[in-house]
Amino acid sequence: MSESAPRPAASDADRIERAQAALGHRFADAGLLAEALRHASAAGPGRPSNERLEFLGDAVIELCVCEALFERFPDRPEGELSVMKSAVVSRVACAAAADRLGLVALLQLGPGMRARARLADTLGGNAFEAVVAALHLDAGLPTARAFVLDHLGDALEEAATSTHQRNFKSALQDFAQAHLGGRALYEPLGSSGPGHRPVFRVAAVVAGRRFGEASASTKKGAEQAAAEAALHAMRAEPGDLPPLARAQLDALLG
């Protein structure tokens, strides 16, 4: 932020002080924190919203999480790391971190916005990203990295130990070739969401038949999730799968 950036108004002083206490960081430029906590509904001339910081924070979070996964799991292939990353940086994980920090209560919102409870997760996730960017600009990447890994650490551990770390694409390919006489293909069904946080939807297709659909923040993550959905769909079907094939599905899916 430039030196001419607006300082938080006196009426905001208590809110900014409480935010600094919650984040565990005293800002050299309190205007950065004020901007990070200002929703578009409360923005105006000389009072920018947190959307630009949200854009930067999204990239900083992905960098920090990708670095952590790369260092912690040197033997994992790119596909597995991609699936794990998608889980850790998801809107759900960021919103949960924001909830633990109490960020939504600290946001500067326009009239009527706070009553819209259904927006709480979106508001929180966006605020978390903006705060990460503010920390990065105020104190540097090491401070932002420590904050991200501290507050997304549970999500990282869960992703590392969950079934999401399995390579479902490889499993589906092997199963399709062994038991269904064909290869698994992935049909893109389009994308949605803002440009800096797209959501991709993909269908898994085997022998011309669509078995599973799924969405994720990356195309590869969506393909992994669609492959898992396809395997579950195959196991749930009442068809005449050979006992060996059904046993293989049970072993894959637990």
Binding-site annotation, residues: 54, 126, 129
Known binding residues for Mg(2+):
54, 126, 129
Residue in 35, 62, 80, 129 annotated catalytic: 129
95 within 8 A of 128, measured Cβ to Cβ = yes
Give the 3-state secondary structure of residue 243: helix
Nearest in space to 166 (alpha carbons), one of 235, 87, 252: 252
In one-letter notation, the amino acid at residue 57 is G
- Three-state DSSP string of 173-196: HHHHHHHHCCCEEEEEEEEECCCC
Alpha helices in the chain (DSSP H): 13-23, 30-36, 51-72, 78-88, 91-101, 103-106, 120-139, 141-151, 153-161, 168-175, 219-236, 243-253
Give the 3-state secondary structure of residue 43: coil
Residue in 35, 58, 62, 80 annotated catalytic: 58
The gap between the terminal CA atoms of the chain, to the nearest Å, is 51
Distance of CA 175 to the CA centre of its chain: 30
* CA separation for the pair 95, 111 (Å, rounded): 22
Any catalytic annotation for residue 58? yes
Give me the active site residues, please: 58, 129
